[in-house]
Structure 1
């Protein structure tokens, strides 16, 4: 048109679309009051860092991390402090037979957080679905040497371990679909409950942590994990029926402790998918802390779109969006775990009472 052009849209587009309210630490509570966003945005706590669109996808330098990424780096290295490395390898079993509680997500993101703090960490994927392997960007098709070969064919663990791209010091023993038949095949093998323990003991490379991602069941694979490690880590979702079935898991821990591994104990409870704006999440957190006192981490893992998106790119949330609330929460949770005495909660005094009250 020959008339004077209208410039108002350009001025509107130049306005900033992100506020400092989107940069939140692990324990930051959301700002109270009414919200104008669509209903589906409420699944993120604190609000998602999605204001700036990402065209090419994460990992190519276009991810909108900005100052939040710098805050993540500062969170990892507070005042130049380095987290202590354990005197001996801590083998931690991440287990919960209730599905959808964030078990695999917790395994891979805690492992990545510990590695970013300077530790050498191995993730053992014992779930036939191989979700931990996928989230870490590890190839795990049927021809790849995997943890199945270690358990069933007594292959050395070093033959199947792969380094994780993008995270120095992090390694993974992947799972393939072959692992689905391992429960049956292990039944007839000698020392069927301790095959993973012997494999980890025979692994010659130095490790600070081994995190074992268990399947959502209490079969021989989970028993192998409990015999191999000393610490049980249980993610609990802050939703209705969060404690359902937990009693059976604790009874199994007691059985393995009594007959196969006297050092086994529940060391850590981590609350996942926490939405501080809901009364239900607060009630679940209060109930869990009433049953498990010092075992419960102070840091809650928020319900986060970024945490959910990261595995589809073969990444942890630490590399997908290091400045997000989910990444900062897992960094803080890993810090708590690293500073804990691994044997501090090994008496199991609460287990029997919890087992009786939870079906």
Structure 2
């Protein structure tokens, strides 16, 4: 396994000067009939046409998206890695933020968290640690990582007595906002202070939702937390989309849960659905996103489709 390299200071090519992607209004409900392709997707509704993303004339400021669900095992980390890699394939500069003390995002990209001298914990808790010195390159060009390890678990206790504790992550990310197009935050499976920090720093959030009944029930609590954060800390926070994961079209249960998700949340549910596959555990062992490990697989194609939807919105 190669030694992680600092991300900042490496040369980057300039993208062509082409038009930007469509505005969010282009995907509003009133536009859906014009965008429908006629093909019925796994969500049970017509697939919406999403154009191929245009190249950018420049980069930044970043749109910050929190990958959040208080239920564990729903595909947050897998989706963060693979969505980030797919966005990078489309010419976007991406920073992945591992904001979980378990460090699963870092491990999934081939980094051994317990070997690191600096992590996001140092950035948010020590004035002498800068984010530029802590961010690492990944195996994907134009996708960087702000790593984490078990030290971050102490931050939740230490931040309690801090002034403006809910905005600590937002302040930490501020110096690099102009360097990236997207910052994806992988949240821990809880609704504690670290997750509140992620929501306070985010422009939007993506909710990975396992196609299983108990996962659906837990979303109500998450929505309540989002409303409180929006009211008290971050008025710009919105649900960018709900991503159905671990979908198995062969089971009636998965199809029924999918129907209920679409009925409850409507157009904010992405057309892209992530199916169950043995490929994802393989990529974790390999320390690579599925777009590199198995670029022609169904999982890789799904995350590229998701990236197109994210850019279009």
Normalised-by-shorter TM-score class: 0.7 to 0.9
CA contact (8 A) 1:138 1:172 kept: no
SS of 1:91's equivalent in the other structure is strand
Cα-Cα RMSD: 2.0
> Among residues 316, 320, 324, which one is paired with 2:289 in the alignment?
316
> Among residues 171, 192, 196, which one is paired with 2:169 in the alignment?
196
Cα distance change of structure 1 residues 235 and 131 upon mapping to structure 2, 3 Å threshold = same
Residues in 2 aligned to 1:328 and 1:28: alpha-carbon distance in whole angstroms: 14
Q: 1 or 2, which has the higher strand percentage? A: 2
SS of 2:117's equivalent in the other structure is coil
Residues in 2 aligned to 1:129 and 1:204: alpha-carbon distance in whole angstroms: 25
Partner of 1:145: 118
2:76 counterpart of 1:103: yes
SS of 1:323's equivalent in the other structure is coil
- The TM-score with structure 1 as length reference comes to 0.70
> Offset at 1:184?
0.5
Q: 1 or 2, which has the higher helix percentage? A: 2
Residues in 1 aligned to 2:65 and 2:102: alpha-carbon distance in whole angstroms: 20
Partner of 1:306: 279
Give every structure 1 segment of 4 or more consecutive aligned residues whose post-TM-superposition deviation is greater than 4 Å. 83-87
2:165 counterpart of 1:186: no
Partner of 1:82: 54
Q: Residues 96-245 of structure 1: matches in 2 within 5 Å? A: 96-141=69-114, 143-154=116-127, 155-165=129-139, 167-203=140-176, 206-245=179-218
Higher mean displacement: 142-151 or 194-203: 142-151
Residues in 2 aligned to 1:276 and 1:182: alpha-carbon distance in whole angstroms: 41
1:301-332, CA deviations, whole angstroms, 9 ceiling, x for partnerless residues? 01011012101111111111111111110111
> Offset at 1:86?
8.1
> Offset at 1:178?
0.5
- The TM-score with structure 2 as length reference comes to 0.80
Partner of 2:259: 286
Q: Residues 52-63 of structure 1: matches in 2 within 5 Å? A: none
SS of 2:157's equivalent in the other structure is helix
> Offset at 1:204?
6.2
Residues in 2 aligned to 1:98 and 1:197: alpha-carbon distance in whole angstroms: 24
Q: Residues 7-22 of structure 1: matches in 2 within 5 Å? A: none
CA contact (8 A) 2:100 2:152 kept: yes
> Offset at 1:177?
1.2
* Structure 2 gap segments, 5+ residues each: 1-39, 43-50
Residues in 2 aligned to 1:286 and 1:328: alpha-carbon distance in whole angstroms: 23
SS of 1:249's equivalent in the other structure is helix
SS of 1:211's equivalent in the other structure is strand
Cα distance change of structure 1 residues 180 and 203 upon mapping to structure 2, 3 Å threshold = same
Partner of 1:336: 309
